[in-house]
Amino acid sequence: MRGCLRVRTKRSNMATALLVVDVQTALTDWLAAERRRDFLATLRELIARARAAGIPVVYVRHGDEEDLIAGTAGWEITARIAPRPDEPIVDKRFRDAFRETTLAGVLERRSVERLVVCGMQSEFCVDATIREAERRGYRVTLVSDGHATYSSDDLSEEQIRGNVHRIARGEVAEIVAAEDLFVSAAT
Q: pLDDT per residue over 96-120, tens digit each?
A: 999 999 999 999 999 999 999 999 9
Phi, psi of 41 (to 5 degrees): -65, -45
Q: What is the DSSP letter of 24?
A: B
What is the reported pTM? 0.92
Q: Let me know how long the chain is.
A: 187
CA distance 54 to 31: 30
CA atoms lying within 13 Å on the CB side of residue 155 = 12
Helix runs in 18-126, H state only: 25-28, 33-52, 103-109
Amino acid identity of residue 38, one-letter, is D
Catalytic residue (one of 125, 142, 173, 175): 125
CATH topology of domain 5-184: Rossmann fold (3.40.50)
Q: For the residues 8-24, what does the mean pLDDT come to?
A: 79
118 is catalytic: no
**For residue range 33-72, what is the model confidence (pLDDT) as tens digits?**
999 999 999 999 999 999 999 999 999 999 999 989 999 9
CA distance 165 to 125: 14
Phi, psi of 73 (to 5 degrees): -60, -40
| pLDDT of 151 higher than 70 | yes
Hey, is 105 helix, strand or coil?
helix
What pLDDT sits at residue 13? 62
Q: Which of 101, 106, 114, 96 is nearest to 50 (CA)?
A: 114
Average pLDDT, the chain: 92
